[in-house]
Amino acid sequence: MDNNICNRLPLGRSLAILAKTYYGALTKRLEHLEIERYYSILILIENHGAKCTQQFICDELKMDKVSMVRIVDYLIEKKYVKKVVNPKDRREHFIQLTKKAIEVLPAIHQAIDEVNSAALKGIAKEKQKELYSQLNSIQMNLAHLPSQKIYINYKKASKKV
């Protein structure tokens, strides 16, 4: 049997395992901050600026908006973000970083850098870039893949009708 995890399992399963292992390592480094797994949200807002609506965050992180309500509530309770109604469109709420979040972000980046460089150890810098671009390309390829059910092709012999 092949000892490469990607050959033993469906690609998506391998990716899920990687993601879980990565999250475990990262979350342990940051669990005392009480941001759970929500550092991605802080980083998203950090990158995108003061105009992140909940819907935007859901779209970027491929999460559903119902779950996002509670996550944002949690982050507000922990004082990492605040909600600001968009005066131009009062349906939208901008989720913005607080002073506390800004203070904490360097530690988050440090943890991510540590785990990233541990994860990518042994992979040359150019290869890392190539890997990132391949992963991005996979995501793009899958994002709008039409779905068609696959049916079982029973052999006539095994079907006694």
CA of 71: how far to CAs of 41, 51, 55, 160, in Å?
Answer: 10, 18, 13, 54
Please report where in the chains the tokens 């605040």 appear, as a residue.
82
112 binds a copy of itself (CB under 8 A): yes
> What's the min distance (Å) between Cβ of 119 and DNA?
19
In the shown chain, the binding pattern of residues 22 to 41 toward DNA, with x for contact by CB under 7 A and - for none, equals: --------------xx----
Chain positions 65 to 94 lying near DNA, rule: CB under 7 A, are 65-72, 83, 89-93
> What's the min distance (Å) between Cβ of 33 and DNA?
14
50 binds a copy of itself (CB under 8 A): no
CA of 105: how far to CAs of 16, 20, 150, in Å?
Answer: 26, 22, 46
In the shown chain, the binding pattern of residues 99 to 138 toward DNA, with x for contact by CB under 7 A and - for none, equals: ----------------------------------------
Please report where in the chains the tokens 């033993």 appear, as a residue.
8
Cβ partners under 8 Å of residue 35, min gap 6:
42, 75, 78, 80, 104, 108
Please report where in the chains the tokens 């068609």 appear, as a residue.
148
Residues near DNA, by CB under 7 A: 36-37, 53-56, 63-72, 83, 89-93
